[in-house]
């Protein structure tokens, strides 16, 4: 059973997005991916805003298995403020009445059982996005936010320290493993086209690595897997050489960015969402070991090569300027909060 998110984080987000709750007072919000890492944070924030701001926002969330969602997080999904609709983004058909806002955050990338099915990943991003866009338009939504990914840029050049939105590179079209990045590129095009040819005000969040309570501990996210191993007293497994460079934005900060984007992001524009503070995978493992009190140091499985270390770090100047956002939570604090939440997580 999932624990509630830290109240101090929910308070921070709601306080930093006061204009959102007044602008969207009594709105109906449709969310896909609401049971995922990002989506569940967004829903819990909306519920908190309803409590402390009286926003009265009604949430309708798509779920493949509503009963499972309610059992996993009853405080979140069994609430009277949330209506769960059973279905898959690629083929759902339902009439929920008028909606005002739509956040499309569905993805299969965090599910290990589905992440290896490249065609499914591509279809979820492309067919799913088209289906959700048609649904949002048919039900009267005025604003649409797509959670995309920094994967749309393809490999970050080693000479480019931080990736800007203006980078014109792309994933290799012959690389079958690039299904996620290629799917997100196509999804972004669809969203942009609907923004041009319909009344939807669309914005796109190109999300980089995130950290925070609720991050999957058994999936494709190195930070989550490292925390799982260290808290269990096991040595952290680093599948590569430990040199790849990443950055991590705390989920509370990311929520502030996303809600401000939904409210005031420019139609048809994409914004990088992430931290500009870089850290290598081996440094990340060492920090987690230290904060967890682990005495079994991680050892990379392969030796380093002479090639430049792969990078995945955004340039966030556009978002910081246009949306008046910043990285509020220092990385060490973000990591410690994530670890401490998982130390006491309810597991039954």
Helix (H) or strand (E) holding 41: helix 37-53
pLDDT digits (tens, 9 = 90+) for 209-232: 999 999 999 988 999 999 999 999
Residue 211 near residue 329 (C-beta atoms within 8 A): no
More confident residue, 39 or 114: 39
pLDDT digits (tens, 9 = 90+) for 1-12: 899 999 999 999
Closest CA to 144 of 203, 222, 196: 203
Q: pTM of the full predicted structure? A: 0.96
pLDDT digits (tens, 9 = 90+) for 90-105: 999 888 999 999 999 9
Q: Whole-angstrom distance between the N-terminal and C-terminal Cα of the chain?
A: 6
Residue 193 has pLDDT above 60, yes or no: yes
What pLDDT was estimated at residue 91? Answer: 93
pLDDT digits (tens, 9 = 90+) for 28-61: 999 999 999 999 999 999 999 999 999 999 999 9
Q: What is the DSSP string of 105-171?
A: ---STT-HHHHT-HHHHHHHHHHHHHHHHHHHHHTT-SEEEEEEEGGGG-SPPTT-SSB-TT-----
CA separation for the pair 45, 65 (Å, rounded): 22
pLDDT digits (tens, 9 = 90+) for 13-23: 999 999 999 99
* Token code pair at residue 187: 């999804």
Average confidence score pLDDT of the chain: 95
pLDDT digits (tens, 9 = 90+) for 283-333: 999 999 999 998 888 889 888 888 899 999 999 999 999 999 999 999 999
> Residue ranges of the domains in the chain?
7-214+249-276+313-329
**Residues 264-282, mean pLDDT to the nearest whole number:** 98
CA separation for the pair 242, 105 (Å, rounded): 30
3-state SS, 336-347, equals: HHHHHHHHCCCC
CA separation for the pair 256, 210 (Å, rounded): 13
pLDDT digits (tens, 9 = 90+) for 115-131: 789 999 999 999 999 99
CA 8 from chain centre, in angstroms, equals 20
pLDDT digits (tens, 9 = 90+) for 239-265: 999 999 999 999 999 999 999 999 999
CATH of domain 7-214+249-276+313-329: 3.40.50.720
What pLDDT was estimated at residue 345? Answer: 61
């Amino acid at each position: 059973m999932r624990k509630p998110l830290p109240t101090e984080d929910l308070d921070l987000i709601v306080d930093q997005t006061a204009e959102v709750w007044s602008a969207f007072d009594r709105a109906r919000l449709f969310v896909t991916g609401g049971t995922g890492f990002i989506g569940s944070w967004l829903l819990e924030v909306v519920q908190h805003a309803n409590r402390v701001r009286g926003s009265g926002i009604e949430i309708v969330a798509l779920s493949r298995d509503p009963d499972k969602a309610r059992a996993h997080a009853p405080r979140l999904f069994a609430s009277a403020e949330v209506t769960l609709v059973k279905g898959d983004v690629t083929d759902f058909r339902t009439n929920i009445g008028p909606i005002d806002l739509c956040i499309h955050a569905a993805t299969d990338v965090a599910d290990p059982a589905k992440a290896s099915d490249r065609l499914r990943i591509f279809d979820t991003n492309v067919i799913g996005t088209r289906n959700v866009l048609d649904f949002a338009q048919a039900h009267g939504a005025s604003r649409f936010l797509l959670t995309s990914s920094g994967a749309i840029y393809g490999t970050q050049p080693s000479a480019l320290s931080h990736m800007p939105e203006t980078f014109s590179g792309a994933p290799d079209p012959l690389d079958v493993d690039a299904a996620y990045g290629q799917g997100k590129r196509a999804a972004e095009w669809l969203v942009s086209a609907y923004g041009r040819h319909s009344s939807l005000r669309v914005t796109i969040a190109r999300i980089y690595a995130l950290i925070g309570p609720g991050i999957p501990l058994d999936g494709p996210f190195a930070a989550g897997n490292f925390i799982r191993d260290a808290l269990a007293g096991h040595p952290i497994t680093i599948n590569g050489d430990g040199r790849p460079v990443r950055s991590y934005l705390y989920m509370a900060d990311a929520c502030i960015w996303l809600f401000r984007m939904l409210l005031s992001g420019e139609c048809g524009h994409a914004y990088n969402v992430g931290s500009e503070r870089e850290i290598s995978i081996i440094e990340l493992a060492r920090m987690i070991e230290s904060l967890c009190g682990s005495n079994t140091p991680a050892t990379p499985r392969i030796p380093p090569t002479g090639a430049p270390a792969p990078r995945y770090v955004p340039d966030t100047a556009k978002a910081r300027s246009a949306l008046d956002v910043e990285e509020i939570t220092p990385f060490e604090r973000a990591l410690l909060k994530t670890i401490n939440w998982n130390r006491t997580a309810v597991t039954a």
